[in-house]
Amino acid sequence: MIEQRQALPVDDEPRSPEVPAPRVIRMDDHRPGARAAACAEESARTARLVEAEARFLARCLGYLVADLRIRQYIDFGSRVPHSAGVHGIVTERLPDARVVRIDTGTAVPLHPRASASQPAALWLERPRPEDLAAQLSLRGLVDLGEPAAVLVDADQLPADLAVRDVVHVLHDVLAPGSHLVLRQRPANPADPYARALAAALFEPFCLLEPGVADLAWWPYPDEEVAADGVGVLAGLARRR
């Protein structure tokens, strides 16, 4: 007796076995010391940025303090230590000047009042542009009838606080002769319109020469003109 079985279907063209896509592994990332070298490079970039920012602030404040004799300063987001930053530079030349640092978030500042080594601190957990001037004035930290200089690091502002809104409120409440120092890292440094977009953030203040430039170069380079910048654009503007 012959056993009958159903024949299995056979493809006309044999299928090639599926081969997974090759996985590329960068051997440099797994070599001993590669991660440490990357961390060291990042630390060096951060240190260079902080140094460039300190020099930029020194140039701006040197003009505002020595030439214009502005006696009120509001520091919003500076990452430079107080001794080398706004408070240290201003009080060295004008010991009786008012310096206020605005802190945001959930951490209450340790130094709410000014001292010889610390600026006064205004803590706002969730700041709104329209509240900034009111809080500064009500607490007696700033006399809005007199010129003041406001230094804003746009990259340090809370995510829900728009730079344009802050600038417009400051322009509305500050006295004529006040100044705005603003710095921001562009979203795309290669964008040919990056400087124009940064300059637009100063409106309606009047930008002073040379306009917006890399903060390592403004208004002139610390070293050679050919030296690389730090990728942060900055400028100084005046309230008419």
Residue 9 binned pLDDT confidence (cut-offs 50, 70, 90): low
Whether 2 has a pLDDT exceeding 70, the answer reads no
Rounded CA separation 116/122 (Å):
17
Report if residue 31 sits inside a domain: no
Report if residue 76 sits inside a domain: yes
Whether 1 has a pLDDT exceeding 60, the answer reads no
Report if residue 68 sits inside a domain: yes
Residue 18 binned pLDDT confidence (cut-offs 50, 70, 90): low
What is the DSSP code (8-state) at residue 64? I
Report if residue 94 sits inside a domain: yes
Low-confidence winner among 62-71, 78-87, 141-150 (lowest mean pLDDT) = 78-87
Which one is predicted more confidently, 19 or 90? Answer: 90
What is the DSSP code (8-state) at residue 155? G
Tell me how far CA of residue 52 lies from CA of 29, 103, 183, 185, in angstroms: 30, 22, 12, 13
Q: Which of 110, 53, 77, 93 is nearest to 233 (CA)?
A: 53
Q: Which of 22-36, 150-164, 224-238 has the highest mean pLDDT?
A: 150-164
Mean pLDDT of 178-200: 94
Rounded CA separation 55/23 (Å):
46
Rounded CA separation 16/39 (Å):
46
Domain tally for the chain?
1
Report if residue 15 sits inside a domain: no
* Segment 112-138, tens digit of pLDDT: 454 555 778 887 776 677 777 788 777
Asked whether the beta carbons of 180 and 172 are under 8 A apart, the reply is no
The CATH number given to whatever domain includes residue 167 is 3.40.50.150
Q: 70: domain range?
A: 46-238
Instruction: Please give the mean pLDDT across all residues of the chain.
Output: 81
Report if residue 147 sits inside a domain: yes
Q: Which amino acid is at 36?
A: A
Rounded CA separation 44/36 (Å):
12
**Quick one: pLDDT at residue 27?**
59
Report if residue 165 sits inside a domain: yes
Residue 76 binned pLDDT confidence (cut-offs 50, 70, 90): confident
- Model pTM score: 0.79
Report if residue 230 sits inside a domain: yes
Q: Which of 74, 98, 84, 93 is nearest to 53 (CA)?
A: 84
**Quick one: pLDDT at residue 110?**
46
